[in-house]
Amino acid sequence: MYKKVLISLVLVFLLSFVTGCERGNIFSWTHKEGESDDVEVLIADAEASMQNGDYEKAKGYYEKVLEKDPTNSEALLGHANTTLKTSEFDFVEFITDAIEKEATGEDPLLPKSIDFNNLNKTVDQMIRDLEKIADGKADGVIQATDPEVNTNLSIAKIINAVMTILDSDGDGNVNEKGEDIIHVNEDFTVTIEEDLLSELGTEGTKKAMDQVKIAMVELVGGDRTREILEVGEEDLKINGVDYNNKKGAIDYADVVIKTKTGKSLLDEISENIDRLTETGGRDSLKGTYQKLESNL
């Protein structure tokens, strides 16, 4: 059941950005597009460019707005949108492939044709934009509880967790074969090449453990990660970033549920994640972490 929900949310996430907000530019007759320094005019120009299918130009306008006002929630959402649209990653093909595979009962989230590195960079930027809105660090024009923002952020974090697991050496590049020791299979199980553990060495093992911790945070947040992996606060300070207070996909999904139903189903979501031992959930990550820890 959770797997079907996860698949549906991914499709919502992708479709909402592929078909996202494209309002017209009401100011187009009064100025030359992009020349104004006024934030509202630049946003209108960006929306007009979106409507015309010029996503690179729209992205540039949103970036101009964010240079002036890094907290502008409309620009942050627009920038996340155009980051996706200007990505070389073919999300339309991805969606089509996902729908076809879901119809036949196959697992659609990790088709072999995915350019993981491009997906990784795209989703990472989108998370940075959307987190500012959802964590209440933006201007509030788009509210922190906005369902679209939180749904997309939740799914982006799930995808980012998978990318983090795949990049087990933390070099920023995802290798489908050979070089990275941890793999996520098409059925979302997480496997570790135990025969290669001895080749990692102490430094390599620690890097892989850090990647597993970061992936866990992306899924369930800092507090739950410490509980599941039985680690302390210092263990979640990785490469100069403190992950202790970061929220995970589960937290942003709960915001959507609260907004739409008026109650929290966090415990039920957490229980479903607990059951994901065969689909790449917390237990498989915990098992991977323990195997790495035993290699030190």
- 102 vs 36, more confident: 36
Token couple for 155: 């799914």
272 & 171 share domain: yes
Mean pLDDT, residues 241-255:
92
How many structural domains comprise the chain? 2
Examine the fold and report which residue of 142, 169, 204 is the final residue of a domain before the chain moves on: 142
If DSSP codes are grouped into helix, strand and coil, which group holds residue 18?
helix
* Tens-place pLDDT, residues 280-295: 444 478 888 888 888 8
pTM: 0.78
14 & 113 share domain: yes
* Tens-place pLDDT, residues 124-172: 999 999 999 999 999 999 999 998 899 888 888 887 887 787 777 777 7
Q: Above 80 in pLDDT, residue 33? A: no
Examine the fold and report which residue of 142, 177, 196 is the final residue of a domain before the chain moves on: 142
199 Cβ partners below 8 Å, 6+ apart?
none
Which pLDDT band holds residue 88 (cuts at 50, 70, 90)?
A: low
88 & 182 share domain: no
124 & 201 share domain: no
Q: Above 60 in pLDDT, residue 276? A: no
CA atoms within 13 A on the CB side of 150: 21
What distance in Å separates the CA atoms of residue 207 and residue 139, rounded to the nearest whole number?
Answer: 37
83 & 166 share domain: no
What distance in Å separates the CA atoms of residue 94 and residue 69, rounded to the nearest whole number?
Answer: 34
Token couple for 173: 């590049």
138 & 149 share domain: no
Q: Above 90 in pLDDT, residue 189? A: no
CA atoms within 13 A on the CB side of 192: 24
CATH number of the domain residue 40 falls in: 1.25.40
114 & 174 share domain: no
132 & 150 share domain: no
* Tens-place pLDDT, residues 37-52: 789 999 999 999 998 9
190-192 and 182-184 beta bridge pairing: antiparallel
117 & 153 share domain: no
If DSSP codes are grouped into helix, strand and coil, which group holds residue 98?
helix
Domain span including residue 93: 1-142
Name the amino acid, one letter, at 233: E
Examine the fold and report which residue of 95, 115, 142 is the final residue of a domain before the chain moves on: 142
* Tens-place pLDDT, residues 249-270: 889 988 888 877 666 555 655 5
175 & 45 share domain: no
136 & 177 share domain: no
187 & 95 share domain: no
